[in-house]
Structure 1
Amino acid sequence: MPVADLHVHTTNSDGRMALADVPDAARTADVGVVAITDHERLHPDLETPIDDLAGTTAIHGIELRVETESGQVDLLGYGVAPTAELRTELDRLQNDRIERGRAIIDCVEERLDCDLALEPTEGIGRPHIARTIARSDADYDYEGAFAEVIGNDCPCFVARDLPTFERGAALLADACGVVSLAHPLRYDDPAAALALAASDHVDAVERYYDYGRPVDVAPVTRAIERHGLLETGGSDAHDGVLGRAGLDGDEYDAFRERLAASLPEGVPRP
Structure 2
Amino acid sequence: MSTDQKYGDLHTHTTASDGMQPPSENVRIAHGKGLAAVAITDHDTVGGIPEALEAGQRLGITVVPGVEISTRAGGKDIHVLGYYIDITHEPFLNHLAELRQTRERRNDQMIAKLQQLGISITLEEVIAGLGRELKPDESVGRPHMADVLVKKGYASDMRDAFNRYLGEDAPAYVSVPRITPADACNWIREAGGTPVLAHPGIYGDDALVERIVREAKLAGIEVYHSDHGPADEERYLRMADEHGLIVTAGSDFHGERQGVVFHGDIGSRTIPVTVLEQLQRGTK
**Is 29-38 or 42-51 further displaced after alignment?**
42-51
- TM-score (ref. length: structure 2): 0.80
Partner residue, 2:185: 169
For 1:33-48, list aligned pairs within 5 A: 33-46=37-50
> Shift in Å at residue 45 of structure 1?
4.5
Partner residue, 2:7: 3
Of residues 13, 32, 43, the one that matches 2:17 is: 13
Distance between the aligned counterparts of 1:155 and 1:257, measured in 2?
A: 43
Partner residue, 1:111: 117
- Checking the alignment, whether the CA contact within 8 Å between 1:205 and 1:229 is kept in structure 2 is yes
- The amino acid of 1:105's aligned partner reads I
User: For 1:232, what is the secondary structure of its paired residue?
Assistant: strand
Count of residue correspondences: 258
Distance between the aligned counterparts of 1:237 and 1:62, measured in 2?
A: 14
How has the CA–CA distance of structure 1 residues 49 and 64 changed in structure 2, closer, same or farther, with 3 Å as cutoff?
farther
Partner residue, 2:276: 256
Distance between the aligned counterparts of 1:22 and 1:238, measured in 2?
A: 9
Q: Which runs of 5+ in 1 are unaligned?
A: 263-270
> Shift in Å at residue 261 of structure 1?
4.2
Question: Aligned residues: percent identity?
Answer: 26
Distance between the aligned counterparts of 1:104 and 1:260, measured in 2?
A: 38
Partner residue, 1:266: none
- The amino acid of 1:68's aligned partner reads A
How has the CA–CA distance of structure 1 residues 25 and 260 changed in structure 2, closer, same or farther, with 3 Å as cutoff?
same
User: For 2:117, what is the secondary structure of its paired residue?
Assistant: helix
Q: Which runs of 5+ in 2 are unaligned?
A: 129-133, 257-264
> Does residue 1:74 correspond to 2:79, yes or no?
yes
> Shift in Å at residue 137 of structure 1?
5.0
> Does residue 1:190 correspond to 2:206, yes or no?
yes
> Shift in Å at residue 113 of structure 1?
4.5
- TM-score (ref. length: structure 1): 0.84
Residue by residue over 1:222-257, the C-alpha shift from the partner in whole angstroms, topping out at 9 and shown as x without a partner, is: 222222221111111111731111212xxx21x222
Distance between the aligned counterparts of 2:40 and 2:83, measured in 1?
A: 9
Distance between the aligned counterparts of 2:279 and 2:119, measured in 1?
A: 50
Partner residue, 1:229: 245
- The amino acid of 2:197's aligned partner reads L
How has the CA–CA distance of structure 1 residues 76 and 49 changed in structure 2, closer, same or farther, with 3 Å as cutoff?
farther
Partner residue, 2:173: 157
- The amino acid of 1:72's aligned partner reads D
Alignment RMSD (CA, Å)? 2.7
How has the CA–CA distance of structure 1 residues 226 and 154 changed in structure 2, closer, same or farther, with 3 Å as cutoff?
closer
- Checking the alignment, whether the CA contact within 8 Å between 1:70 and 1:192 is kept in structure 2 is no
Partner residue, 1:146: 162
